[in-house]
Amino acid sequence: MSDKVAMEKIVSLCKRRGFVFPSSEIYGGLASCWDYGPMGVELKRNIKDAWWKAMVQERNDVIGIDTSIMMHPGVWKASGHIDNFTDPLVECKSCHLRWRADEIASDKPRTCTKCGGELTEPRMFNLMFKTFMGPVEEEASTIYLRPETAQGMFVNFENATTTSRKRLPLGIAQIGKSFRNEITPGNFIFRTREFEHMELEYFVKPGTDEAWFDYWVKERFNWYLKLGIAKENLRLRQHGKDELAHYAKDCYDIECLFPMGWSELEGIANRSDYDLTQHAKHSGKDLRYYDAESGERYVPYVIEPSAGVDRSLLAFLIDAYHEEMVEEETRVVLRLHPSLAPMKVAVLPLSRNEKLTPLAKEVYRQLCPNFMTCYDDSQSIGRRYRRQDEIGTPFCVTIDFQSLEDNQVTIRERDSLAQIRVPIKELEQTLQAKLKGERFDATALWATRQKSQ
Ligand SMILES: [Zn+2]
């Protein structure tokens, strides 16, 4: 991504190869809503799995949770979202186009960029989606779609700590949909009104919060590096005092170099004891933590790494996108980390020759319980390789006429374009090892096995 790829190229690839489609497309689409196609859903799932593995599975100090999108309205009063989760909005008095007031240059006359009309004074606009629960549409039954998953963790703090029998520091993690009625969504799936959150609320003893904050900033930054995003395309930016959210003591953004410039990929905030204090006050429940070691009771501080699945997906796609010349043709290749690639293996018989089909199908059946595998026998082998390159499939397995005689197949590597020949018997094991990034020579291994038998 050192040469920034144009967003149009990404949008076009996403449409062409089944990653992302405009929502309700046959009706002309719905602003800022997108659907994930067969490749997109796999990539998205792999990102969420990678996050869950790093944040929950591999940690003894984090537990998972899955809370409902609709919550008691008191939650949003306590959290400050009803009063503070707003953007200043200005509207054109003649054509009624709307902007966020901070997007309009303050040094120029404030007129509509479309029709030149006069603009209203800024008014505060709440970003929460409102709906009604039950059959009566009245004030008393107003509820909100959650604008973040975090509150689900705060209101379950007591349930989670008592049932898990774990001590602080303890994190609660959740992945789920959030909704924000953004005034100006845009940049493809970067800012949408419906999106998926991956959030951790990490509860710590007051006084240890700054050290844990530093720890999580580094940890999250490294997560993106480990999954392959180039270091020069990531940076950290500390929020100035004037831009800190009403609850935050400190905040860093992990920024990524997107086609439209450096933009926020993930935020890590020190939320202090704001949330639990507020919920204790509004619910009347004592949410202090009893520290058995010191015998103290205190309201924990919270460190929150908060990432968007859709935004991460865009970052991984942009970073993986490469165009290069191979045999005097432009090859588009997604160099996705193998753990993120939608398809791990493609099984490709050299042609549709009926002699090759049974063995190729047999190889497919052998692999598909273990890897996301696709089978493709249409068009020339060259075009099928290109198709797999465009969706980032790390390995293509080719079955040719020689395979019928020696029971060996060819593995073609996406990045190096190297081809190696392996016995079908060793194929699964070889692919497993390659996907884990281990280097071993399958042919040599096979030879040793043969000898020892
Ligand atoms: Zn106007």
User: How many CB atoms neighbour CB 200 within 10 A?
Assistant: 27
Give me the phi and psi of 296, to 5 degrees please.
-90, 160
Torsion of Cα atoms, 279 then 281 then 285 then 289, to 10°: 70
Spacing, Cα 304 to ligand 1 middle (Å): 40
Spacing, Cα 345 to ligand 1 middle (Å): 52
What the block records as the tokens of 80 is 């400050």
Spacing, Cα 83 to ligand 1 middle (Å): 29
What the block records as the tokens of 264 is 């926020």
Residue 385 · residue 329 · CB < 8 Å: no
What was the pLDDT predicted at 287? 95
Spacing, Cα 98 to ligand 1 middle (Å): 9
What the block records as the tokens of 164 is 């898990």
Spacing, Cα 237 to ligand 1 middle (Å): 35
Each residue of 392-443: pLDDT tens digit? Answer: 999 999 999 999 999 999 999 999 999 999 999 999 999 999 998 754 444 4
Nearest Cα residue to 144 out of 170, 165, 126: 126
Mean pLDDT of 170-181: 97
Spacing, Cα 91 to ligand 1 middle (Å): 8
Spacing, Cα 188 to ligand 1 middle (Å): 24
What was the pLDDT predicted at 184? 85
Spacing, Cα 121 to ligand 1 middle (Å): 14
Cα separation, 396 vs 347, in Å, equals 6
Cα separation, 395 vs 37, in Å, equals 21
> Any idea which residue has 């007591």 for tokens?
158
Each residue of 37-50: pLDDT tens digit? Answer: 999 999 999 999 99
Spacing, Cα 65 to ligand 1 middle (Å): 46
Asked if residue 318 has pLDDT above 80, the reply is: yes
> The pTM is what?
0.92
What the block records as the tokens of 396 is 């293509």
Spacing, Cα 111 to ligand 1 middle (Å): 8
DSSP state of 205: -
Mean pLDDT of 345-360: 97
What was the pLDDT predicted at 137? 86
Spacing, Cα 104 to ligand 1 middle (Å): 13
Kind and range of the H or E run holding 358? helix 357-367
Spacing, Cα 25 to ligand 1 middle (Å): 27
What was the pLDDT predicted at 188? 96
Spacing, Cα 190 to ligand 1 middle (Å): 26
User: Which residue type does 3 have?
Assistant: D
Cα separation, 58 vs 235, in Å, equals 25
Give me the phi and psi of 15, to 5 degrees please.
-70, -45
Spacing, Cα 93 to ligand 1 middle (Å): 7
> Any idea which residue has 């309201």 for tokens?
299
Spacing, Cα 92 to ligand 1 middle (Å): 5
* 15 alpha carbon, distance to own chain's centre: 19
Cα distances from 234 to residues 2, 207, 302, in angstroms, run 11, 29, 25
Each residue of 1-34: pLDDT tens digit? Answer: 445 689 999 999 999 999 999 999 999 999 899 9
User: How many CB atoms neighbour CB 1 within 10 A?
Assistant: 19
Each residue of 240-259: pLDDT tens digit? Answer: 998 888 789 999 999 999 99
Spacing, Cα 149 to ligand 1 middle (Å): 36
Compute and round to an integer the Cα radius of gyration of the chain: 26
Spacing, Cα 113 to ligand 1 middle (Å): 7
Spacing, Cα 110 to ligand 1 middle (Å): 11
Spacing, Cα 106 to ligand 1 middle (Å): 17
Spacing, Cα 116 to ligand 1 middle (Å): 6
Mean pLDDT of 159-176: 94
Spacing, Cα 88 to ligand 1 middle (Å): 18
Spacing, Cα 436 to ligand 1 middle (Å): 56
Q: What percent of the chain has pLDDT over 70?
A: 95
Which of 23-32, 92-101, 218-227 is predicted with the least confidence, judged by mean pLDDT? 92-101
Asked if residue 290 has pLDDT above 50, the reply is: yes
Spacing, Cα 182 to ligand 1 middle (Å): 19
